[in-house]
Structure 1
């Protein structure tokens, strides 16, 4: 096979191909020996629309500079080819990564989805729609940490959530139903594609896996329900986001703002210099409140700081810095555990308590006069009374370190009580309900912090010859 001659680069091997382009690995001849990927587009194979796509791709990549978007370093042309010189992503693409492992743990899926969400948030700020999101177009770099980068902007276009289009773009398996059915669509089509990618990461296949296009189209047209498999088990937040992304009707699908704010993604706690400073500020305030014997407030602040600290440990690549950070975080965890016992008054001898003794009955009593009064006032509203019982049991599970169960129950009771609060008339019951909701929201956040600690190492991928460990 004859390799192309690109001025300034030594082309060494073919790494991929498309309908009118071939991608090669190459090295710069001058300066540091940097690996690049060169997309060679054969001019003679370009149709009118393909020419437009190449022009759009180059013009977009010149301005789209983001950590989670593959960088275009240069472009050239001669009589036969257009050469797009790109950042080289040595860890391959997400599809290969999934197939190597069959399914990805939820923690790994979450990290990839967070990075994809950051790229999409950046694209939305420029009104750009990628229009061909799929695992093959999500490339991975391994150094200094495993990072996902969006690639191949050949179908991209400027499209807002107000504008509509009808051109057929993308890959059928990842296309939103409104595109496949040749209806008008807007930028929300990307969110369906994200849902399909998320599903494939978790379960090893796309929700509408089909042997041919006609079968896929029939499933879409029939709006065949998408079932979330029971195995492997996934968290409530994960399932909630998946269902909201994979809505056939774009008007029922989650919108971008809600997507970026979804608790499963938790973009607020993504590691950064800002998140590190927030963690430091929170833990300093926690120490202050602790010294003043404001134990409940100190516990909440320690938990809040841990939600920022734990992701920072995951991404730290310097062994010395990582060890120091781990040591500090362990001390904060120990103090938070001590404060949890003080705040909850947990009796370790009662860890084997039955479900009935955790408060799932009609006489909930947590020792707080306000809470007990709220339970009495809620007795004439069965749904509220039940939600309060669930919330109380969440506190018990939290005290017993059963964090996932506690979080599920906190979310369950808050899902009932928060809508009730908006409809509740002014009065003593409303005031008490508002206070209790605020307390349980804080406790739910604390539970998430302890879950993050418990899962600190669950997201690591064993090292192999081919894949680095995901930090």
Structure 2
């Protein structure tokens, strides 16, 4: 069997074909003067290109000239000869998300979250440039693997358009299975079509198939025209945050679909703590503040600041591919965790003594560490906090749901004292879900002031508790990995 001859491209040596489209073929290649510089070259046959295809190609090249982001495939160069246009791209060595899903059958929720977080960071960048991709699907989401860390990158901007949230279009663009209903039905549409596509991708990641999987285009179109409800597969289990995002993305009516701002702010994605350079800087700044508060004996403030920094540091740690950097960061994080745990244990000891009325023992080392927390917090004496809470409970009786929500928050604090962090976090969330909307409607006055203080306190407690749970997950994962390595060595 003869080996197909690869085309000749000036300045590059083509190694193998890695993809193909209607008018283009993609090859893995390297520069002739630098064999370490592996790239992907898209070779587009100019002969027979329609006017619309030429326009799409020009748009793609113009967009890739200006779009520079960690989660968008980078265009290194482009040039042409009599027959072909060549686009030199960054090479993604781990294939695409479609192949990855097929290989795994379906993805664990935490893996899905990581890929969606990276995709949403790129989409946020595109929205800031008024760019709508128009063809988001797993085949256009390429993967780079460094050590055990995967990085997702959006590719193929052939159908992309400059489209603000207010602009509307009519023309059909995209792949039918991932195409928003308003496009397929030839209704007016705007940039929110990308959010529907994200919903379909998310569904496929979680369950291994698209929500409207069909054998023919006619069958697919019929399901969408009928607005058939999208159901989760029987026996599937996903978190409430994950389900909420999925359901709100896959709304047939664009006006019922969540907005881009709501998408980027969604709890499941947690973009606020994504592993980015900006968030690393935030984490470092929080550590400086935590150390400063610790030195001033403002121990409760220090505890919350350490925990807040961990929310940023831990995703950065898990995403770090450089082993030396990862180990150095792990050692630093372990120091922050240790100090935060000391402050937490001290705080719990103080709260227990308040509940039981016991005096600290002279031999109790935990109590000795705790003594500054009892008298030197920067938020004022705990006695005043308790009095304020009782006053708020009295004032809250006149508003439906306020007093029950305050009681749930109080129960959360009790769980926290007992060290039951998962239940504490669940109760804090339930309480805040009711109290935060009530605060927005509350008129100025004493009750609003007290409610704001209580919500602020419980939000900090909830964030700190969540940070500790994430820290425990990280430590348990590290222990399991260590045990697995030991078993391999024994075998």
Q: TM-score, normalised to structure 2's length?
A: 0.84
CA contact (8 A) 1:236 1:408 kept: no
Higher relative contact order (Cα pairs below 8 Å, separated by 6+ residues): 1
CA RMSD of the aligned region, Å? 2.7
Q: Does 1:219 align with 2:197?
A: no
The answer to which of 168-177 and 393-402 deviates more is: 393-402
- Segments of 5+ residues of structure 2 without an aligned counterpart are 356-383, 482-491
Matches within 5 A, 1:78-227: 78-143=81-146, 145-227=149-231
CA distance in 1, matches of 2:234, 2:293: 43
**Alignment check: 8 A CA contact 1:13 1:24 kept:** yes
Is 1:59 matched with 2:62? Answer: yes
Q: 1:190 to 1:17 in 2, by over 3 A?
A: same
Contact 1:3 1:13 (C-alpha < 8 Å) held by counterparts:
yes
Cα pair 1:108 1:459 within 8 Å, conserved: no
Q: 1:107, 1:459 within 8 Å by CA — same for their partners in 2?
A: no
Distance across 1 between alignment mates of 2:192 and 2:339: 45
Unaligned runs of 5+ in 1: 351-365, 463-471
1:424 pairs with one of 435, 442, 454: 442
More helix, by proportion: 2
- Asked if 1 retains the 8 angstrom alpha-carbon contact of 2:146 and 2:321, the reply is no
1:12 pairs with 2:30: no
Partner Cα separation in structure 1 for residue 277 and residue 202 of structure 2? 28
Structure 1 residues 196 and 41, CA gap change in structure 2 (3 angstroms):
same
Greater shift after overlay, 266-275 or 196-205? 266-275
Q: Distance in 2 between matches of 1:39 and 1:446?
A: 48
Q: 2:120, 2:264 within 8 Å by CA — same for their partners in 1?
A: yes
Which residues in structure 2 correspond to 1:298-337 (within 5 Å)? 298-337=302-341
Aligned partner of 2:465 in structure 1 is 447
Per the TM alignment, residue 78 of structure 1 is displaced from its structure 2 partner at its CA by 2.8
Q: Is the 8 A contact 1:133 1:193 kept in 2?
A: yes
Query: Are 1:75 and 1:83, in contact at CA under 8 Å, matched by a contact in 2?
Result: yes
Residue equivalent to 1:436? 454
Q: How is 1:234-383 mapped onto 2 (pairs within 5 angstroms)?
A: 234-345=238-349, 368-383=386-401
Which is greater in Rg? 2
Deviation at 1:218, TM superposition (A): 2.3
Inter-partner Cα distance in structure 2 for 1:231 and 1:386: 34
Contact 1:270 1:311 (8 Å CA) reproduced: yes
Partner of 2:380 in structure 1? none
Deviation at 1:124, TM superposition (A): 1.6
When structure 1 is superposed on structure 2, of 381-390 and 399-408 the one drifting more is 399-408
* SS, match of residue 54 in structure 2: helix
Report the counterpart of residue 411 of structure 1 in structure 2.
429
TM-score, structure 1 as length reference:
0.87
Secondary structure at the residue paired with 2:34? coil
Does the CA contact (< 8 Å) of 1:107 and 1:458 recur in 2? no
1:27: which partner in 2? 30
From 457, 469, 474, the counterpart of 1:456: 474
Shift in alpha-carbon separation, 1:454–1:248, aligned structure 2, 3 A: farther
Change (3 A) 1:425 1:124: closer
Contact map agreement 1:70 1:151 (CA 8 A) in 2: yes
CA spacing shift, 1:95–1:405, aligned 2, 3 Å:
farther
Q: Hey, what does 2:370 align to over in structure 1?
A: none
Equivalenced residues, count: 446
Q: Is the 8 A contact 2:44 2:85 kept in 1?
A: yes
Distance 1:246 1:264 in 2: 15
Tell me by how many angstroms 1:458 deviates. 8.1
* Structure 1 residues 383-394: aligned runs within 5 Å: 383-394=401-412
**What is the Cα deviation at residue 273 of structure 1?**
3.8
1:298 is displaced (CA, Å) by: 1.6
Task: Indicate conservation of the 8 Å contact 2:200/2:250, yes or no.
Answer: yes
